[in-house]
Chain A
Amino acid sequence: MDRLTLVLWIFDSVTGLGLLLLAGWALASPQLFRGIILFVAFSLMMSIAWVRIDAPDVALAEIAIGAGLTGALLLAALSRLGDSEPTQESMNRPIERSYRARTFRSLTASLLAAVAVALVFLILALPGDSEGLGAEVAASLDASGVSSPVTAVLLNFRGYDTLLELLVLLLALLGVWSLGGLPAQPVSPAVLVLDTLARILIPVLLLSSAYLLWAGTHAPGGAFQAGAVLGAAGVLLSLAGWQVRQRYTGVTLRLLLIAGPSLFLAFALYTIVAGQSLLEYPPQRAGVMIVLLEVAATLSIGTTLAALFVAEGPRNKEGQ
């Protein structure tokens, strides 16, 4: 074993161990606030692991969504919960400290230890090498219209996955809205530091989002990462006390939300009518169609994520 391999092996072991420890600490931490912060640290460590197993696209998505947006969502929910929750004590009590509860916990732990051992055996029993679909993707990459294999899979070869995923995102927002949303947070005048920071960061975020979107055709990046950064810009604006003007929260908001899914559906119908199978783009036009789809999907993903963060009910003319 040469020295580089050894160093990398140690690095991977430390990362793996760190992941397990952080996950354990995050879940067992007595204070929820600390648990959430540890969870964000866990997500950042996950993105290091993604880079180590050659998945830079996933690393980008993990940083933007796993660490950034999920962390913001969790903290916002915790602060909203704060008012109705009298003590921290009752919140973290693991069901109960009675004898029965202790038996229950140790039973669960031993059962899950057995599951873990079984999983380890299964993973070790898998053949060490596999053909995978990499060769097939590489063979048809020229016809896909983009040169990044992950983007080709997401928007061309398995486009229906992405279509359904956009619908899931929309469905989550509709779920939040149909529950009536959450009461609007009292608008506090933005602190000067936060306000200045937002003014500096928003253009940078928009630029990063556009870059990720463009880079997605030939390098790690793409609509999801770009959409997540756009959503983060929305979260930052909302935290800094900015509000969307009422006249844009009606039709304009809804059009932005459905831009991605509806363009996707239109292309799906078009390919069927043109006599091809679902979402099978004509090779000479595939590049343009994918870029159009990605732009629309980025706008929709960004808007939906920001709307999920704000989580106020929909405003319509009758309501307000």
Chain B
Amino acid sequence: MSSVPLFALVGAGLFCIGLYALIVYAHLLRKILAINVMGSGVFLVLATLADRTVNAAPDPVPHAMIITGIVVAVATTAFALVLMLKVAEKTGRAELPDERTG
């Protein structure tokens, strides 16, 4: 299938965009969004690899793993959001304390 490598490349791009945002932005909600984008990138690469079969239906094992991954991602997102709200409640800001020394 000609479209296959295309989406794997998009997946790699999404992973890097997400990682950049995760490092650069201070707000925790933005970091949680970034982790979700990174996960989507990984899933895209995984699904694209499942579609490399010649003249056959795609490999179902990676698809099952991605569905598992999506559910785990929403569970961790929910937990991370509650942690963020607790941080905001304690410190008044939804950011981690700045550890700059100078």
Contacts and interface: CB of A to CB of B under 8 A. Distances in A.
Contacts of A24: 17
A50 B3 CA distance: 12
B100 to A, nearest CB: 9
Most chain B C-beta atoms within 10 Å of own C-beta, residue among A9, A123, A222: A123
A154 B30 contact: no
A230 interface: no
Interface string A105-138: 1001100110110011001101111111111011
A93 B26 contact: yes
Contact of B71 (A53, A65, A119, A137): A65
Contact of A133 (B17, B59, B89): B59
Contact of A49 (B7, B78, B82): B7
Interface stretch (A71-79, A194-202, A251-259, A279-287): A71-79
Contacts of B72: 165, 168-169
Interface string A140-160: 000000000110111001100
B88 A81 contact: yes
Nearest to A118: B12
A123 B85 contact: no
Interface in B6-24: 6-10, 12-21, 23-24
SS class of chain A's interface: helix, strand, loop or mixed?
Answer: helix
Most chain A C-beta atoms within 10 Å of own C-beta, residue among B29, B53, B67: B67
Nearest to A165: B68
Interface stretch (A12-20, A185-193, A242-250, A265-273): A12-20
Nearest to A307: B78
SS class of chain B's interface: helix, strand, loop or mixed?
Answer: helix
Q: How big is chain A's contact interface, by range? A: 35 or more
A14 to B, nearest CB: 11
A311 interface: yes
Contacts of A55: 47, 50-51, 58, 63, 66
B82 A311 contact: yes
A74 B100 CA distance: 29
Contacts of A32: 27, 29-30
B24 A129 contact: no
A86 B90 CA distance: 15
A58 interface: yes
B7 to A, nearest CB: 6
A150 B60 contact: yes
Interface in B38-70: 40, 43-45, 47-54, 56-61, 63-68, 70
Nearest to A43: B40
Contact of A182 (B8, B57, B85): B85
A161 B65 contact: yes
B4 A53 contact: yes
B53 A132 contact: yes
Given A70-B36, A123-B8, A129-B54, A149 B27 contact: no
Interface of B: 1-10, 12-21, 23-27, 29-30, 32-34, 36-37, 40, 43-45, 47-54, 56-61, 63-68, 70-79, 81-86, 88-89, 92-94
10 contacts: A20-B14, A53-B7, A77-B29, A92-B30, A109-B20, A116-B12, A134-B57, A172-B75, A175-B79, A301-B71
